[in-house]
Structure 1
Amino acid sequence: MIYAHSLENRSKTDWETLEAHSLRVAEGARRRAEVFGAGDMAAMLGLLHDLGKIKPGFQRKLNGEVNDVSHSGEGAKLLWKGLGRPLAAAIAGHHGRLPDPDRLRARIEGAEAIPLPDWCRLPEWNWPARIAADKRQAPYRLQFLTRMLYGALCDADDRETAAFYAGELDRMPGEITPAMLASFDAYMAGLGGTGPVNNLRRRVLEHACSMGSHAPGLFTLTVPTGGGKTLSSMGFGLNHARAHRMRRLIFVIPYMSIIEQTADVFRDVLGPDAVLEHHSNADWDGEDEGEAEQLRVMGASWDVPVVVTTAVQFFESLHAARKKRCRKLPSLAQAVIVLDEAQTMPLALLRPCLAALRELMEAYGATVVLSTATQPALTRAGGFLADEALEGGREIAPDPAALFDALKRVEVRDVGAMDDVALADRLQVSAQALCIVDNRTQARALFDAIRDAPGAAHLSTLMVPAHRRAVLAEVRERLKNNGPARLVSTSLIEAGVDVDFPLVLRAAAGIDSIAQAAGRCNREGKLDRGLVEVFRSEHSAPPAVEQFAAIGREVLAEAHDDPIGEDAVASYFRRLWGTYGADALDAAEVNGTAGLLAAIRACGADCPYEQIEAAFRMISEKQRNVIICDGAWGVPRDALEDLRFGSAGAVAKRVQHHSVNVPWGLWETLWEEGHIAWWSQDRFGEQFATLQTSDLYDACAGLSGLGDPGGIA
């Protein structure tokens, strides 16, 4: 008898045979891939993935012998010389990551040739016709499909293995149901509210829901800030999913500062079990060949009806090699994907991002919604001339131009240069004001200058999520009660954070950023006009921000009727694309080749998955996560100690609201001075770092910026 999994101190009659495990994984992988027409291919991978466990050395390993016999190369070897060669990487990497060609070749050379057992009857299969239809696009489509199949295999394998040890069946994924749409309708009916702004929001919502019957593909939702984009996009998504039997909603949000806010709204509408909140603070990207570690690091598969995630998590997963990130990819097929604040996609990776979105729509039945007040003109008609330009988008909102006129609530002024002293004075004399700068160090210095003023508050990514959430709650309460509220923030507040100030001061930036800042001003239309003052800071902005600001100043000088209206935004993006050029929109380098897309085309059937993953980094500044313990905003140390012998996933989930992503420069300073240390290193290695010097976390302003070069969030 050949076994796949053993049970300690249990009779071998209770062990799982290789036949049973392989057939179950094949069926699970087939279910996950059938939705994009590749069920037979996935089933083949499931049947072959553990073929190497037949080796006597591995069977002795299951019986307790300590050895380093691997098992993932043998199934890959069977595919290597035939039609399935590109899929060999999926089998070879099913415990860790999709390997680069040289590492895959070494794995194949070291694998044994094992004949198929009688129970292993491989299904007939063929590559999708669209891969061969365009030779230039074939390598891109091939590596994309391989990642999707790899995700299906890894998720099925991990879940079946876990189900065996837990004594339960692999559960079916959660999908959108008619009851969820009914819950949404009931929630919206109960909101009420009067006045022109609420009436306009209802009109946008009704029109968005009516658009759900349109065929899947590309949509835009162009609504001014404060016009109800979030709930309107949810209404569209639920109706669209219901009309076309789509499976789930994926909400992609640019900043963690609003992911909790959005997830909370969706939980209120649909209930807690229907919504998954997934981002870097709740994630761990470890890998190991061992079965025990394979179970311990099981991550989210996005197999719930509604997922709220970050743009970093979403786009980096689409270009990942690690199984933990690829496991979620099959869940994107036949999903409604809403990109909130779509203009925040990183310019240096914009073309690869658009290529992935096009592939999801064209080959995997997904719908993509670009939701923003400042549509980034990603079509040829809008001046975007790269091959990846999106086409055929349908507008969900009713008459965006009229919406912008109706919701014009601010006056934008260019007030010239202002140093920090002038800014602090402006904040001191204004009872309610928001100041946004593009530099963490400047934001902290400005807050320190006014921290004794009534209602002074601070926001940056050097504060843990629980702290930021509490600050925003207090600011909203002060604004609601007409109390003093003086908030200094980095740009993280611009993307969808629901605050309503009469005055916003914004450091010079691109027109899209100025428009987003204006969305925090007179949001509810309580004033005839709010005031947005754009100033030139005495501090140097990061080079990219300065370039955006220069183009923004050119557009402001064009004297549009509305300097942040649709015409001004369109002019800004036309200038931006002209300034950058196509090459700068795919700027990452892969093994000497300029551009991810060019590197993929050049590789043919042998994709360098690990190099692609390393090159595709939406946050170029290297960061490490630090857990804050005790104090007003830390996780209690005794609660952390209770998890010392738990799983890495359980620890990550417990600390996600009490952790800070620290820039590398600050990390090095803190480490060298002994302010941080690895927690439970004997068990988890270098996974979890804790702040040892509690005084460095300010209860009002977050982690000290000592050694931090600034940054923009």
Structure 2
Amino acid sequence: MLMRMCFSALVDSDFLDTERYFDYGKSIKRRGKAFSIQQLDEQLQNYMLKLRMESQDKEINRYRNEVYMACREAAKQPLFFRALVVPTGLGKTLASIAFALEHAKRFNKKRVIVALPLVNIIDQTARQYQKVFGKASVLEQHSQLSYTDDKGESMERARLAAENWDSFPIIVTTTVELFESLFSNRTSKVRKLHRLANSVIILDEFQKLPIHVLAPIFQALHILMEHFNVTVVLCSATPLSFKNAELVGNMGTPVEICKNHDQLFASMKRVEYTRIEKPLTVSELVARMREHPAALCILNTRKDAFQVYREAISQKVNGQKLYHLSNRMCPDHRKKVIEQIKEDLKKEKPILVITTTVVEAGVDLDFPTVFRAMAPIDSIVQAAGRSNREGKLDKGKVFIFELIGGGMPGGMYRKGTEQTRILLNHHGTVALHEPWIFEKYFRSLYTLGGDDLLDSYGITSLKPFSFEKASRLFQMIDQNTVSILCKNYQDEDGQIERLIRMYKEAPYLTKEWYREAQLFAVNEYVDSSFFRENQNQLEKISEGWYIWHGDYDMKTGIMDMDEGGD
């Protein structure tokens, strides 16, 4: 790690010196107008004060304030490994940044790095932080963000800062970007690593970290904490148990910020779980959903979601709007649909949303009723977080069901679902409100996984150590995917047409081209039947990139159910 840090500092200095010599104007643009950690903390305190003055004296707001103050108090202690585990809807996003800024002030930290597992959550989190701190202090970096949308000085500075994470005190990024950079041997990735020193790293929804590389991830974090003045905060709305040493590798047990988190979970029973005992046909499921004016239904596969959506169209009820969401819709499309769903919910319109797990973590939808196909226990609880989120109802309703003929992802997802089914059979749905059920669940899951569960590629035992081999082996996503640019998606500004023209005419494609193209692309597994059977509609652009010349449905994306996509 020390060699990586030295190499990172050297590479970045070399880039910056060369830039300063050849393009001094560009070098000047890197200098931003970000506030200091002290100033940012003052802004946050003023924002929270205003929020409290404007908010109603409801129970949920009292709990939010309790979590926020606990974060403030905990940050004063010189403990560098913490956990913030509180129920959905208690202001975890602002409470965790309050901890980070208070802690940074006291223990000489230079920046806060917030890493999240899903891009759609990042967009939401970054916007919330930018609302509080301003765009000059918050850098949002992920594969689906284009820095060409705005030609202004601030966007140019953001583009430059994304290269080395300098000049911004708050970075919001993906766990993929963070950890693949930590294990990469590419100069463009490694360049920002030394900015991790003297930082606070917030891992939000950390339970979503892929199990097969958990050991190397936590070994790297352990070294950062021990030797580089890094504080790590694990955040989750799933009441995980830290008694299982396997969960956090050799890092030890994190000290929990909210000591009374069991009491918080007991007090925040905002939903009532009901398990539908008899497996349902697609038609029966839709009929049940139609009994509720506004409902969200989360399925395990894209195929299931599409079939339920298609059945819902055939059973259409006057006045109830129908939405579909899956990752066969490009990010630009999904984002617009989610915004429309939020608008309809705010106006209390009757709607039915049928989706895959893309809305399960971090998307702040608030439905009175949620239907969830049987899944791993943490996924069920995350789905329940989309019901009665603001506590407007006495109890939201969450129905857990089995779909006849329904699909199921393999690997740990399938094993987790099997364990959940066993636990629910034995303890009933009332146990989903109890933290002890999660300790039982994860203990069972890790026991099933085998010795190499947490380090499937053997990275922690590489002898002799090889940077090149570690870089090649470390894959957050353990299945090979390609990006498919949706040519016939109806974007508003002709961006796709311009991107394709650039691909045809430009001598080479830039990083910015790929970054912008991600907004209009879907990811697909190379071993999927969709990819194998639609080669005649796919034009290869470069390694891992294709153009989809087939149809794009403005309701469902490129879903082609004749091929039975999984």
With the length of structure 2 as denominator, give the TM-score of the two structures.
0.87
Q: CA deviation at 1:688?
A: 5.8
- Structure 1 residues 276 and 608: CA distance shift in structure 2, 3 A: same
Alignment partners' CA distance in 2, 1:687 and 1:578: 36
Alignment partners' CA distance in 2, 1:166 and 1:507: 56
Does the CA-based 8 Å contact 1:176-1:305 persist in structure 2? yes
Q: Which residue of 1 aligns with 2:156?
A: none
Q: CA deviation at 1:480?
A: 1.8
Code of the aligned partner of 1:565: E
Q: Which residue of 2 aligns with 1:193?
A: 55
Alignment partners' CA distance in 1, 2:162 and 2:63: 41
Q: Which residue of 2 aligns with 1:574?
A: 443
Q: CA deviation at 1:469?
A: 1.6
1:146-186 per-position Cα deviation (integer Å, ceiling 9, x unaligned) = 22222222222222222222125575696853221122122
Q: CA deviation at 1:690?
A: 3.4
Alignment partners' CA distance in 2, 1:385 and 1:692: 46
Q: Does 1:164 align with 2:21?
A: yes
Does the CA-based 8 Å contact 2:144-2:331 persist in structure 1? no
Unaligned 5+ segments in structure 1 are: 1-143, 285-295, 589-594, 679-684
Alignment partners' CA distance in 1, 2:352 and 2:432: 25
Q: CA deviation at 1:669?
A: 4.1
Q: Which residue of 1 aligns with 2:344?
A: 478
Q: Does 1:697 align with 2:552?
A: yes
> RMSD of aligned C-alpha atoms?
2.8
Q: CA deviation at 1:268?
A: 0.9
Q: Which residue of 2 aligns with 1:129?
A: none
Code of the aligned partner of 1:183: Q
Superposition pairs for residues 392-431 of structure 1, below 5 Å? 392-397=253-258, 399-416=260-277, 417-431=279-293
Q: Which protein has the larger Cα radius of gyration, Structure 1 or Structure 2? A: 1
1:548-582 per-position Cα deviation (integer Å, ceiling 9, x unaligned) = 01111232223585424312122211222222244
SS at 1:318's partner residue? helix
With the length of structure 1 as denominator, give the TM-score of the two structures.
0.70
Alignment partners' CA distance in 2, 1:476 and 1:172: 37
Alignment partners' CA distance in 1, 2:530 and 2:16: 36
- Structure 1 residues 388 and 498: CA distance shift in structure 2, 3 A: same
Does the CA-based 8 Å contact 1:666-1:706 persist in structure 2? no
Q: Does 1:636 align with 2:498?
A: no
Q: Does 1:432 align with 2:288?
A: no
Code of the aligned partner of 2:401: F
Superposition pairs for residues 35-74 of structure 1, below 5 Å? none
Superposition pairs for residues 212-223 of structure 1, below 5 Å? 212-223=75-86
SS at 1:697's partner residue? coil
- Structure 1 residues 190 and 667: CA distance shift in structure 2, 3 A: farther
Does the CA-based 8 Å contact 1:671-1:677 persist in structure 2? no
Alignment partners' CA distance in 1, 2:496 and 2:215: 45
Superposition pairs for residues 488-567 of structure 1, below 5 Å? 488-537=354-403, 538-543=405-410, 544-556=412-424, 557-559=426-428, 562-567=431-436
- Structure 1 residues 355 and 481: CA distance shift in structure 2, 3 A: same
Alignment partners' CA distance in 1, 2:247 and 2:417: 24
Alignment partners' CA distance in 2, 1:226 and 1:386: 25
Q: Which residue of 2 aligns with 1:315?
A: 179
Q: CA deviation at 1:355?
A: 1.0
Alignment partners' CA distance in 1, 2:43 and 2:449: 45
SS at 2:402's partner residue? strand
Does the CA-based 8 Å contact 1:434-1:503 persist in structure 2? yes
Q: Which residue of 2 aligns with 1:350?
A: 214
SS at 1:276's partner residue? strand
Greater shift in the superposed pair: 658-667 or 400-409: 658-667
Q: Does 1:208 align with 2:71?
A: yes
Alignment partners' CA distance in 2, 1:331 and 1:392: 25
Alignment partners' CA distance in 1, 2:110 and 2:76: 15
Greater shift in the superposed pair: 361-370 or 477-486: 477-486
Alignment partners' CA distance in 1, 2:247 and 2:66: 35
Alignment partners' CA distance in 1, 2:247 and 2:322: 46
- Structure 1 residues 341 and 156: CA distance shift in structure 2, 3 A: same
Q: Which residue of 1 aligns with 2:155?
A: none
Alignment partners' CA distance in 2, 1:298 and 1:663: 32
Superposition pairs for residues 127-276 of structure 1, below 5 Å? 144-168=1-25, 169=27, 171=30, 176-191=36-51, 192-194=54-56, 195-276=58-139
Paired residues in the alignment total 535
Q: Does 1:608 align with 2:472?
A: no
SS at 1:190's partner residue? helix
Q: Which residue of 2 aligns with 1:325?
A: 189
Alignment partners' CA distance in 1, 2:365 and 2:221: 31
Greater shift in the superposed pair: 348-357 or 609-618: 609-618
1:400-448 per-position Cα deviation (integer Å, ceiling 9, x unaligned) = 1221122111111221322322222222332211111121121122222
1:508-565 per-position Cα deviation (integer Å, ceiling 9, x unaligned) = 1222111111111111111111111112232231222221011112322235854243
Q: Does 1:463 align with 2:329?
A: yes
Q: Does 1:583 align with 2:452?
A: yes
Code of the aligned partner of 2:481: Q
SS at 2:21's partner residue? helix
Code of the aligned partner of 1:546: R
